[in-house]
Structure 1
Amino acid sequence: MSTIEALFIFDEHNTPLLEHTYNGRPASGSTLLPLYLSHPTPRPSLIYLPSTNPATLLYSIVQDQLLFLAPCSSDTQPLQVLEFLHRVADVLEDYLGAPLLASKIESNYDVVAQLLNEMVDGGIISCTEPNALRDLVDAPSLMKSLLGNVGLPSTTPSSLAPSATPFSLGRGGGPSPRLGPSNAAQSTSPVPWRRANVRHTSNEMYVDIVETLSVTLSPSGRPLSAIANGTIAFTAKVSGIPDLILHLGCPGGISNAISLPVFHPCVRLNRWKERPGQLSFVPPDGRFVLAGYEVDLLGPSALDAFTTSTTKQSLPSLNIPATVSVHTSLGPSGSDFQVRLQLNPRFTGKSSAPPPSSASGRGGLGSRIAAGGGAGTSTAPAIEEMTIHIPLPSSVHNILDLRVARGMGDASYAPGSASIEWRISSREISMLMSQDRGGGVGCHATLSGTVVGAQDDDENGAGFDDTAVSLSTATYNYDDDQASSYQSAPTSTPQPSNSAQVDEKRRKANKILMPSAATVSFSVKGWLPSGIKVESLNVDQKKSKGLGGGVTPYKGVKYLCVSRRSVECRC
């Protein structure tokens, strides 16, 4: 079992904010920080420091520009210590709010100190669930801060309050209330990750599945890799202790689609192993991450298809919302390029089905998902704002005649920048989709421009010429009778330049200035690349406690696909 010896937190200027020792006599933060900073960036999460006495393993994470360090002088489980640091950052964000700032930690040190004491007991990790910590440590509030500032008793936990007796002697010798959690007498929850005595006026449950799409395309448009990383976020606002069953479905079966699944501790793993696709769990109160997974969209046989296929039709195909292609070395001198965006007409956001009643833009859930009819639903997925990012070589000095065909979007570039940003709004995407006449014809937009390098700048500014310079050896007669003889043609003329060689040289120089790739960023509501769907979400009335007879929680589901410069086409 891993032992946590100490925790050090530093701000963005490497100023110490907090130093909390749990076990042993670890090296101080002033000793560990220079040793950590001496390593070149990017610094690994685990650094071995043989110069300390004893030799130390230093674990580190960076959250919102705050540095978290945890030293260990004994053999430990590295992943457990790193997970502990992430849990500390998540708990502080839950209590103090995101983003996590140094000023928040300094102004709420009493709460932070109690949280750290509850999370680790004698160096052993004990409680890291935010729901369970809510029963032990009260969150800071404006009223508690005001009462504490004027010296009145407050329910805010204080690390200075005595922990052995419920009362301490005040200034006059009489007993004064102990500063501590107001709910200390309450019974603890039988479920470690859920608060006790949870009560909600409106019982609701929401499932949000978000998948991050990552696709790499070859210059011919053939997919080289296509991975979707999914996260199932669950929001439970249900009274008592509900026992839920979430059933996931996918074409071809969940077990064949999902790989590398990870689950929240509340999920019963035996149920998933026996019946893949069914998640049985008692949820924490509020919003949490229920599960994560990875899906290979090309399938396990994609590598064999790449090596054995001879026709384009036999290669794996993808049905993604948008792809991009880059065409370079165009024009007479090879200095022009064109970026072509192709949109899938399936993602128009239009559907003929009537919209169901829903809350917060989510599709309703009964025994199955009701068909949605509005934009951004499972039956009418819609593309949100799109951005095409085109990186440029460092030798490019400027882009001339940057234009977008048919006025679709706004392309921006500053001379000397490293990339071109082409943004298309959702309204412009809808207009582009409406121009489709079937078969995807018309669902495309183009961006073109001309690259200018250092050589072209010299030609425009200093009269530089690629042609060879030849010196004439002709003589002139300056006699008065032939005053204009110096204007006559010389006896020997320069050698004419080879224009074909000059053009080829110029094309080779411009080829180096061409963009080598383009990436697409977008989000699609109501669609997942993996095809995973929520079939049902049921409450087990026999196992649930405190929900109340006849109470049926509202159920909602939402799908979202996100690409952050992850759909890349190379050229």
Structure 2
Amino acid sequence: MSSIEALYIFDEHNTPLLEQTYTGRPPSGSTLLPLYLAHPTPRPSLIYLPNTNPPTLLYSIIQDQLLLLCPSSNDTEPLQILEFLHRVTDALEDFLGGPLLASRIEAHYDVVAQLLGEMVDGGVVSCTEPNALKDVVDAPNFMKSLLGGVGLPSTTPSSLTPSNAPFSLGNRPSPRLGPSGGAPAPTASPVPWRRANVRHTSNEMYVDIVETLHVTLSPSGRPLAAIANGMIAFTAKISGVPDLLLQLGCPGGIANAVSLPTFHPCVRLNRWKDRPGELSFVPPDGRFTLAGYEVDLLGSAALDAFSTTTPANAAPKLNIPATVSVQTSLGPAGSDFEVRLTLNPRFKGKSSSPLPSTTSFSGRGGLGKGLGSGAFGGSSAAGTTAAPAMDGMVIHIPLPAGVKSVVELKASRGAGEAVFQPADSRVRWAINNREIAALMANDRGTGAGVLATLRGSVVGHDEHDGHDGPDASLGLSSNTYDYDDDQTAGYQAAAASSRKEDGNGGGNGNGELKKKNKVFMPSCATVSFTVKGWLPSGVKVESLNVDQKKSKGLGAGVQPYKGVKYLCVSRKGVETRC
């Protein structure tokens, strides 16, 4: 059993904010912080400190510039302690609001002390579920006044009764009393992750499936790897204790497609093992992560496609929204490059009308009308499962550090705007929704895709900038040395032969320039985009039902509103190598 000995929180200036000791006599925060900072960045999440007394394992995470340290002198389970630290930050965000700021923790030490006291009992993790914590920990006064000012109930049932008694750091509230020590607390829920006596005027259930796409393509366009990481976010606003059954479907079967699944503790694992794709659970109240998974889009036989005995046309195919290809060393001096963007016309949405450039997916703004529709509100061109739509696109072309600037950057057909960013040494080519819709409108239905190009010319550092050509930018030495006569004659002959091959008898011929400019060429390009109404894996919600026999407190004949949304996100996820 992992033991949580202490928890130390520091602000962005490494000033101590809070020290909570649970068991034993661990080293103080002032002792551990210099030892942690002595390690070079990036610092690992687990550091062994043999010089402390006793030798200590130091676990750490950084959240919103706040540093959380947790020492342990025993051989413990690392993932359990790291998960505890993440649960602490989640609980603080639930009660204090996000992002986490040092001023918020300082202003609400009483609430933070209650949370840390409830989450760990004698060094053993006891309660980390947000719904259970809201039953026993009083909400901050500013949260109650904010929610009350807009006519909404407080986020915690305990905050309905104002607290007048001060909280002592050495005392924990009795389980039979309210958090304020006065009014009786609500009846404890038989389900650890769900609050007791949940009541909602409108009963609603929402499913959001978000997949992050990671694809690597070879210079020929052949896929080398393609992984989709999925997350199922569930929002339950149902009275009582509902018992739900969520049925997932996928081409080829969930068992064959989904790997490495992870579930919320509310999911009945035996039901999933017996019938893959069925999630039976009693949900927490509010929004939570129901499950996560991974899908290999190339399949288990992807490695066989790279065999020399396999024909080239047998390589796996990917139907992704956008791909890029890069051609380098173009032009007479070899200083030009061209990026070709290919858009899949399938992802142009319901209509070709331009979309506002500010359209984005955030929260639950615009819900699907009915389960399985996958509709997004707010615009007629918003994506659906029948007609998914791309929302914003950015192409990044990283360049070597020796590139001084990129000139004559021009995109074809008015496809977005490209700029060179010297600080990051890259070209950023952004195409908004309006320009994507205009490109899609020009699709002729050939099935080859919509093509847009970007061309530019790189300029490297030269001797006038304090550099000695491209070799200096790569950190290579350009010192001169003394040679004897025989060696000098040999090098002169080799130089003359090189000039003859250039064809113009000069050392600055096209061949020499191309060699120098080759080190300034990009080696890859990445695409970032968002697609509404489509998932790369093909996972979909087939049904979501409430078991009326097992549910309690919902009411006879009550039919909750159901909504589902699909979203694919690629943050530099589609990479093409040169």
- Give the TM-score band, short-chain normalised: 0.7 to 0.9
Question: How far off is 1:154 after superposition?
Answer: 4.6
1:316 equivalent in structure 2: 316
Aligned pairs (5 A) from 1:417-436: 418-436=425-443
Q: Report SS of the residue matched to 1:113.
A: helix
Residue pair 1:214, 1:566 contacting (<8 A) in 2 also: yes
1:399 equivalent in structure 2: 406
1:559 equivalent in structure 2: 566
Tell me the amino acid that sits aligned with residue 401 of structure 1. Answer: E
Tell me the amino acid that sits aligned with residue 524 of structure 2. Answer: A
2:457, 2:62 → 1: CA distance? 42
In structure 2, list runs of 5 or more residues that go unmatched: 147-160, 353-363, 467-499
Tell me the amino acid that sits aligned with residue 254 of structure 2. Answer: I
2:286 equivalent in structure 1: 286
Inter-CA distance 121–71: structure 2 relative to 1 (3 Å threshold): same
Question: How far off is 1:301 after superposition?
Answer: 0.4
Residue pair 1:111, 1:157 contacting (<8 A) in 2 also: no
Render the CA deviation track for 1:227-274: whole Å, top value 9, x for unaligned: 000000000000000000000000000001000000000000000000
Question: How far off is 1:347 after superposition?
Answer: 0.3
Stretch moving more, 136-145 or 446-455: 136-145
Q: Report SS of the residue matched to 1:385.
A: strand
2:196, 2:131 → 1: CA distance? 9
2:338, 2:56 → 1: CA distance? 55
Tell me the amino acid that sits aligned with residue 431 of structure 2. Answer: I
Residue pair 2:246, 2:544 contacting (<8 A) in 1 also: yes
Q: Report SS of the residue matched to 2:87.
A: helix
Residue pair 2:138, 2:179 contacting (<8 A) in 1 also: no
Render the CA deviation track for 1:342-385: whole Å, top value 9, x for unaligned: 00010010279xxxxxx95333445x658899631111100001
Which of these residues, 534, 539, 544, is aligned with residue 532 of structure 1?
A: 539
Residue pair 1:156, 1:179 contacting (<8 A) in 2 also: no
Tell me the amino acid that sits aligned with residue 286 of structure 1. Answer: G
Residue pair 1:8, 1:29 contacting (<8 A) in 2 also: yes
Render the CA deviation track for 1:447-473: whole Å, top value 9, x for unaligned: 0011111239679xxxxxxxxxxxxxx
1:307, 1:100 → 2: CA distance? 51
Q: Does residue 1:568 correspond to 2:575, yes or no?
A: yes
1:102 equivalent in structure 2: 102
Which of these residues, 153, 163, 188, is aligned with residue 155 of structure 1?
A: 163
1:90 equivalent in structure 2: 90
Inter-CA distance 505–458: structure 2 relative to 1 (3 Å threshold): farther
Residue pair 2:375, 2:382 contacting (<8 A) in 1 also: no
Q: Report SS of the residue matched to 2:136.
A: coil
Inter-CA distance 416–267: structure 2 relative to 1 (3 Å threshold): closer
Larger-Rg structure: 1
TM-score normalised per structure 1: 0.85
Q: Does residue 1:377 correspond to 2:381, yes or no?
A: no
1:340 equivalent in structure 2: 340
Q: How many pairs were matched up?
A: 514
Q: Does residue 1:361 correspond to 2:361, yes or no?
A: no
Q: Report SS of the residue matched to 2:305.
A: helix
Aligned pairs (5 A) from 1:37-436: 37-142=37-142, 154-155=162-163, 158-160=166-168, 180=180, 184-308=184-308, 310-350=310-350, 360-365=365-370, 369=373, 375-414=382-421, 418-436=425-443
- Cα RMSD, aligned residues only: 2.7
In structure 1, list runs of 5 or more residues that go unmatched: 147-152, 167-176, 353-358, 460-494
Q: Does residue 1:515 correspond to 2:522, yes or no?
A: yes
Residue pair 2:17, 2:106 contacting (<8 A) in 1 also: yes
Q: Report SS of the residue matched to 2:345.
A: coil
Stretch moving more, 264-273 or 115-124: 115-124
Tell me the amino acid that sits aligned with residue 84 of structure 2. Answer: F
Question: How far off is 1:77 after superposition?
Answer: 1.4
Render the CA deviation track for 1:413-470: whole Å, top value 9, x for unaligned: 25565011110011110110110101245611110011111239679xxxxxxxxxxx
1:333, 1:564 → 2: CA distance? 34
State the percentage of identical aligned residues.
68
Residue pair 1:111, 1:156 contacting (<8 A) in 2 also: no
Q: Report SS of the residue matched to 2:550.
A: coil
TM-score normalised per structure 2: 0.84
Q: Does residue 1:21 correspond to 2:28, yes or no?
A: no
Tell me the amino acid that sits aligned with residue 522 of structure 2. Answer: P
1:317, 1:394 → 2: CA distance? 35
Aligned pairs (5 A) from 1:451-466: 451-455=458-462
Inter-CA distance 387–162: structure 2 relative to 1 (3 Å threshold): closer
Stretch moving more, 320-329 or 398-407: 398-407
Stretch moving more, 251-260 or 74-83: 74-83
2:455, 2:374 → 1: CA distance? 44
Question: How far off is 1:120 after superposition?
Answer: 0.8
Tell me the amino acid that sits aligned with residue 516 of structure 1. Answer: S
Inter-CA distance 371–208: structure 2 relative to 1 (3 Å threshold): closer
Tell me the amino acid that sits aligned with residue 137 of structure 1. Answer: V
Render the CA deviation track for 1:184-227: whole Å, top value 9, x for unaligned: 43211000000000000000000000000000011100000000
Q: Does residue 1:444 correspond to 2:451, yes or no?
A: yes
Inter-CA distance 508–159: structure 2 relative to 1 (3 Å threshold): same
Tell me the amino acid that sits aligned with residue 413 of structure 1. Answer: F
